[in-house]
Structure 1
Amino acid sequence: MAIYDTLGTTYGLTRRPDPRIGAQIHAALGDAAEVINVGAGTGSYEPPHTVLAVEPSQVMVDQRPPGSAPVVRAVAERLPLRDEAADAVLALLTVHHWTDPAAGVAELRRVARRRVVVLTWDQQIFRERFWLVRDYLPQAAAFDDTRAIPVDRLAALLGGAHQRPVPIPHDCSDGFGAAFWCRPHAYLDPQVRAGISMLAQTGEEALAPGLARLAEDLATGRWHTAHADLLARDALDVGYRLLVAEV
């Protein structure tokens, strides 16, 4: 069973593509005429010239909108595709779910004619800058420590990749891990947490004490006092990175 067969049942409700992040992803793809999206999920950020999506979870496939690119159920480590199958290959917030990232990246490079674009995050920066895991949910940070791929290692596996920071807008519509960095009440919503694998996989029992402290700090105003500087920002860099590699 694919991991998102259990985690992804409400994914389409909270994980809506943010156009500003989408613009950065599409710019990274450049003039690629054909794109393959690996670990495609519900199809977020797929450009119109996507010729194929690869996704192991039927639950996620079922949430893809009408008119999406054709999809094949497969894993990144064993792509059922010929060498140099498309101009560019896309992999967005997926590498940390792979059982063998090195094999998966090798497959991305094999099927790309020109370029590979990967969206990931720098775990050290994430731990230091994101108040939720730093101050309230260290258990979630510890879980991510077990699966996050160091950005420099990932860049090396890609054969050398240029790193582009992806600041998160204050009103980000895509509810991934740090999307609600200035809307803290959102993390108290079980539906929001269900769409964030870092939280969903850590588990509600482990998160409960930290969430209770967050709720109290929001009720008393302590959170807003401690993080007043965040409320004036339009975007925040908490470590998300686009890696762009030529092959």
Structure 2
Amino acid sequence: MATYDTLGATYARTRQPDPRIAAQIHAALGNVTDVINVGAGIGSYEPPQTVLAVEPSRVMLAQRPPGSAPAVQAVAEDLPLRDNVADAVMALLTIHHWSDLAAGIRELRRVARRRIVILTWEQRIFREQFWLVREYLPEVSAFDETRAISTDQLVDLLGGARREPVRVPHDCTDGFGAAYWRRPHAYLDRQVRAGISMLSQTGEDAIAPGLTRLADDLTTGRWQTRHAELLTLETIDVGYRLLVTDL
């Protein structure tokens, strides 16, 4: 499977933090004094209290902006950190890439003193509610089934957590999977797709027929007619969830 050394080259252009999602993440972290960001990528959503970023991909590390927190190349399953090293640990849209989920969660629990915050998605809701995978790209949904982790399983591994829905704004600036739910033409842009792992890792050949149908439906107006109600919404819930665990 491709890694972020090949998939992550465009992230700095297409994955800019959305301020509304940032506010929800920072509120979930609370009044902690220091934060470690695991699976940090280019540093999206890191609060000012971030003292270290952990990221396995050299390509992603190279795209971290000047002034970002110090970063180390390492994996979640083997964090090069002592026990109870920081008030909080966050892991945002990363756990589905880990090779050993249970080991990674144990490491988060080991290094955090007070709180763990994880951003993930509930695959059942995503599959049923997001028109792109439901109507055009079932291949993507099938791929996600191989890596998606239920929030029930995560809560068990964490030893308990509260779950907060993360609604996606219609003009979301962070180009993750469902960010363009009200801007369907964006999914026809190869550069946009390169910043969305579920599309990049499924592969262009597999998704080409569905994208052709989407382009045709946009040209004829069928998509707009079918989703007229969707176009009136400001935000939607397609299954993204924050899990917050107090230790």
TM bucket, shorter chain: over 0.9
Match of 2:93 in 1: 93
Please list every run of 5 or more consecutive structure 2 residues that lacks an aligned counterpart in the other structure. Answer: none
8 Å CA contact retained: 1:55, 1:61? yes
8 Å CA contact retained: 1:2, 1:57? no
Match of 1:110 in 2: 110
Distance (whole Å) between structure 2 residues aligned to residue 44 and residue 158 of structure 1? 23
8 Å CA contact retained: 2:162, 2:245? yes
8 Å CA contact retained: 2:2, 2:201? no
1:15 aligned onto 2:15: yes
8 Å CA contact retained: 1:2, 1:56? no
Match of 1:154 in 2: 154
SS at match of 2:244: strand
Q: For 1:31-50, what aligned pairs fall within 5 Å after superposition? A: 31-50=31-50
Match of 2:236 in 1: 236
Match of 1:58 in 2: 58
Q: For 1:116-155, what aligned pairs fall within 5 Å after superposition? A: 116-155=116-155
- C-alpha deviation, 1:155, in angstroms: 1.2
Match of 1:204 in 2: 204
Distance (whole Å) between structure 2 residues aligned to residue 187 and residue 158 of structure 1? 34
- C-alpha deviation, 1:2, in angstroms: 8.0
Match of 1:186 in 2: 186
Letter in structure 2 aligned against 1:23: A
Distance (whole Å) between structure 2 residues aligned to residue 91 and residue 209 of structure 1? 34
Match of 1:225 in 2: 225
- C-alpha deviation, 1:156, in angstroms: 1.1
8 Å CA contact retained: 2:169, 2:234? yes
Distance (whole Å) between structure 1 residues aligned to residue 235 and residue 11 of structure 2? 23
SS at match of 2:192: helix
- C-alpha deviation, 1:3, in angstroms: 1.4
8 Å CA contact retained: 1:22, 1:45? yes
SS at match of 2:120: strand
Distance (whole Å) between structure 2 residues aligned to residue 3 and residue 87 of structure 1? 30
8 Å CA contact retained: 2:161, 2:243? yes
SS at match of 1:46: coil
- C-alpha deviation, 1:106, in angstroms: 0.7
Distance (whole Å) between structure 1 residues aligned to residue 102 and residue 118 of structure 2? 13
Distance (whole Å) between structure 2 residues aligned to residue 85 and residue 146 of structure 1? 33
Letter in structure 1 aligned against 2:26: H
SS at match of 1:90: strand
Distance (whole Å) between structure 1 residues aligned to residue 142 and residue 6 of structure 2? 21
**Structure-2 change in CA distance of 1:74 and 1:2 (3 Å):** farther
What's the CA shift string for 1:21-67, capped at 9, x where partnerless? 00000000000110000000000000011000000001000000000
Structure 1 moving runs of 4+ over 2 Å: none
Letter in structure 1 aligned against 2:24: Q
CA RMSD of aligned residues (A): 0.9
1:26 aligned onto 2:47: no
8 Å CA contact retained: 1:163, 1:242? yes
Please list every run of 5 or more consecutive structure 1 residues that lacks an aligned counterpart in the other structure. Answer: none
1:215 aligned onto 2:215: yes
- C-alpha deviation, 1:177, in angstroms: 0.1
- C-alpha deviation, 1:217, in angstroms: 0.2
8 Å CA contact retained: 1:116, 1:246? yes
TM-score by length of 2: 0.99
Distance (whole Å) between structure 1 residues aligned to residue 4 and residue 207 of structure 2? 20
